[in-house]
Structure 1
């Protein structure tokens, strides 16, 4: 580890004018921006006017460069117990179909590679109990395994099948073969480590993707690592150790 970080990254905040011009120059027909939601109620610190001005400027620059805007709304306001699973299921099928098309028609002479980038947190148990250790396993299955198992094994993790049951879509034999090995490389984004606690210790008040894993996630902090009861709020700390731990368990999913 060289201690570098992603604090600056693509720096769209300062370079959006340049980036938008590049989109037009390249003839791109799709782009995505995501802005933070304005609170429905009052904000103790007031509205961040610089943030509002930034998004107004981005939209103005997009329109100036002939972009056609549309709002991707209401996608998460219906049935959270089924829609995340449907979304990922079709995302995997679309990826696999595109990968097959590229391999069949272009890869032999372009010599390119097909990859897919996944995102996963790392999880540590809140206690040494078997329940919290299971919560870690479930959390990984419901985040990393959700994608990597179909890509390497042709189906979702057994844990997901058992806990989600018929709300989790099924692959046909042909689809399973299509998705399996539909990549030449896997990219992995890691951002943060969470404590996982068995949801059996809490009240499960709804049925959704977030509760199906029977695990509750609490942001990992140094203070929390000593006594997780004493820390209130979600204090974020990105830990590179979590990425190393995540990297070490990848063979468990791919073999």
Structure 2
């Protein structure tokens, strides 16, 4: 046996022992913390809400002047990629049932409803040269009805549904997308900004770029990781900044609102206590979250230094003449930096992160190869219906504390947090998930003084969950997709959330 083999046997034995010790510590910690809920109350000005997205609930995909978007094309052209070959053509039929939906939201007692606009319902071909009056009318009716019921509308301008016409011009791999998005944002601000006081430019750039351009898990499914995803993100961040500055300079003084971006991430827990895994977890956060957050929220702007270093180094080894990660100019860094009024965070779960010691150069480039990391799950963590979503509430606290330390005490809005199951009406597992995650949130707020201002459950009701179709359910309201009318039924979690909001605490609430 050679020295290399002995080294790896020894390393694997140490790693196994460390993981065993971590598991023992986790179990003992879980037994104490899971049985103890944070007894503190949420502040009087803390906001509770729910969320949805246009393609996932509206339906009416080709009615009333709406144009085709990339998810219409993706699901119609490749139905085999969606579980049960379903799509969002009808979805929850919320386009026709929005009045009933607002009544259901009212029953929950939430302070706000976060929903997204369909770009092609407003601008059928994506360009502002043609505005669809029926789309403007629909969203005006929804906004007005929410306000009549004392529910704050929080609007996401873009939630993954690029106009197909613009995608055929390259979508977010085309630098002109920043101009087109700014034009779209102007139409939105002009028509709805007199009543809407909280705006979100983009929902989850990582899912758009990493999964849609770098991979094929989301539309448009380019599957060009390490190139298309970096270009997508580069243009998307400039588009966000354009919309922010447009609002800040031309609309804020008249409309008195706020505008920011929503980003998502797992908490990256080191798989072992070894230094290289701790560094790997930090590096993974830089690649997956800092990629988008650093240009906006860091004092220096730009992409994280470790990301620039690793991509440049690997690009050179692969024979590229320059880094596959595009460079921002100094002017662009300053233009993007500080384009926020709050930090929108979507968080669901945690992963264990390992360092990759030796990565041979072969095959296609990828973001994961660039990061020199891999992830896995602890088998002891409770499962949900979604394979990627484990119940790890302490990871939520750790992430929030990390954000405070990384970017200062910026106001944080939790814009999504939720649990996946099969759609049970008596959804005890969902109640338990939110109970634990709300307790973890209170821990972050009271023990570590993290500046969290709002909490949003994903989702308002069961909906079209992208590649999972209607097989994975996140809703507080059950939707019968076999019923032509898409009947809604409140789940046990809806009543639980109503009680939490009314009491402004979780301790003692069943």
Structure 2 distance, partners of 1:134, 1:23, is: 49
> 1:159–1:56: structure 2 CA closer, same or farther, 3 Å change rule?
closer
> 1:21–1:75: structure 2 CA closer, same or farther, 3 Å change rule?
closer
TM-score, normalising length: structure 1: 0.72
Measure how far apart 1:209 and its partner are.
0.6
> 1:248–1:23: structure 2 CA closer, same or farther, 3 Å change rule?
farther
Give the alignment of 1:40-189 within 5 angstroms.
Answer: 51-52=84-85, 54-55=86-87, 58=90, 70=164, 75-77=221-223, 79-152=224-297, 153-165=300-312, 166-189=323-346
State the SS of the aligned residue for 1:114.
strand
Measure how far apart 1:181 and its partner are.
0.5
The answer on whether the counterparts of 2:266 and 2:351 sit within 8 Å (CA) in structure 1 is yes
Structure 1 distance, partners of 2:259, 2:308, is: 28
> 1:70–1:100: structure 2 CA closer, same or farther, 3 Å change rule?
closer
The answer on whether the counterparts of 2:302 and 2:333 sit within 8 Å (CA) in structure 1 is yes
| Alignment match, 1:245 | 398
State the SS of the aligned residue for 2:244.
helix
TM-score, normalising length: structure 2: 0.38
1:20 partnered with 2:59: yes
Structure 2 distance, partners of 1:139, 1:170, is: 20
Give the alignment of 1:208-227 within 5 angstroms.
Answer: 208-222=366-380
Structure 2 alignment gaps of length 5 or more? 1-36, 39-49, 94-119, 125-162, 168-218, 313-322, 409-510
State the SS of the aligned residue for 2:268.
strand
Structure 2 distance, partners of 1:37, 1:214, is: 34
| Alignment match, 1:231 | none
The answer on whether the counterparts of 1:193 and 1:220 sit within 8 Å (CA) in structure 2 is no
> 1:102–1:74: structure 2 CA closer, same or farther, 3 Å change rule?
closer
| Alignment match, 1:190 | 347
Structure 1 alignment gaps of length 5 or more? 3-7, 40-46, 225-233
> 1:108–1:81: structure 2 CA closer, same or farther, 3 Å change rule?
same
Highest CA radius of gyration, 1 or 2?
2
* RMSD (CA atoms): 3.9
State the SS of the aligned residue for 2:353.
strand
Number of equivalent positions: 223
Measure how far apart 1:12 and its partner are.
8.6
Structure 2 distance, partners of 1:83, 1:240, is: 34
